[in-house]
Amino acid sequence: MEKQQEQNKYETYFFRDVIRGAMKEEWGGQMIGLGSIQGDIIPSDVRMTLGVTAVRRPYMFHEPLHKHLFTEYFYFFGSNPLDMNEFDAEVHYTFGPEREKHIITSPTIVTAAPGVYHCPLNYAKINKPIYCLEAFMTRGYSGVDFGEDLLEVRTDEPDYNRYFTQGVVRYNQWGGEMISLNTVPEHILPAGAKLNMDLTVVKKPYIYNGTTHKHNFTEFYLFFGSNPMDMNQFDAEVEFCFGKEKERYLITGPTIVVVPPGVFHSPLNFSRVNKPIYFLEVSLTSRYRATDFKG
């Protein structure tokens, strides 16, 4: 028993029962997010909330016009894992105290910078399911509805279109497609929003990172199925190694992995992919750096 516990000493970083229903039952979707992580695994200085939702039918997600003191990101993308650009839907997103409406009809990243009024967010037309990845740079959600901030000083906004980045689907070297925060112009990202966030559809086996290494920042890895009607459908195997001893773990269903600072990890091997899966990697840093293990 003691030997088995020693062999599985990194199991605490793996969370496997992570698919949940949408926040409201009438929305009818599913989601995966960091809210599934229990305990004190996430370091106290990590200020982030994240979730990916399968949107299957029209609904109003957030109606009050409001603002935050933190940065908020939205990735909207199609649910066809063989073509992420396939997007048969309309998302209506309002920005500014003027309630300027923007209509999203293709994969788009939206950046809601601190102090910028936004919403309602309305999934007005959903002919085919889409996904929404929403990330907050905070652990405690709070907002100020329009009209509540009696001391605010407003300045003219030159162009709300700058917060909407289109043409965000890219091909990667392993034959899949991905959406990355790197496609957003750097001047749009607030200085305090230190984050790298890449979402990849994995279509075939490959080794993503073959070198055991560590970082001085926290990383999150989210793995989930590509069927928007059942995100638990997962016909693949992912091998993930932890520690200097390269302790091997096998992922065979939707899973969230937390990699705290200073913990050696990888290789990460997509060893079997019978059906495409999604892989979301989030690094809490503005510049990716790693220290390789020299064993």
pLDDT tens for residues 155-194?
Answer: 788 899 999 999 999 998 888 899 999 999 988 888 777 7
The pLDDT score that the predictor gives to residue 3 is 42
How much of the chain exceeds pLDDT 90, in percent?
70
pLDDT in tens, 12-39: 999 999 999 987 788 888 999 998 887 7
Dihedral sign, Cα of residue 275, residue 76, residue 184, residue 187 = negative
- Taking the complete model, does pTM exceed 0.75, yes or no? yes
Q: For 128-145, what is each residue's pLDDT tens digit? A: 999 999 999 887 778 899
Give me the pLDDT at residue 5, please: 41
Model confidence at 7, pLDDT cuts 50, 70, 90, reads low
Token pair 């939707």: residue: 254
CA distance 211 to 134: 30
Go through the domains of the chain in sequence order and give each one's CATH number. Answer: 2-292 (2.60.120.10)
In percent, how much of the chain has pLDDT > 70?
97
pLDDT band at 272 (very low <50, low <70, confident <90, very high): very high
CA distances from 107 to 52, 84, 87, 278 (A): 14, 8, 7, 16
Pairwise CA distance, residues 216 & 272, whole Å: 31
- Top pLDDT among 158 and 117 is at 117
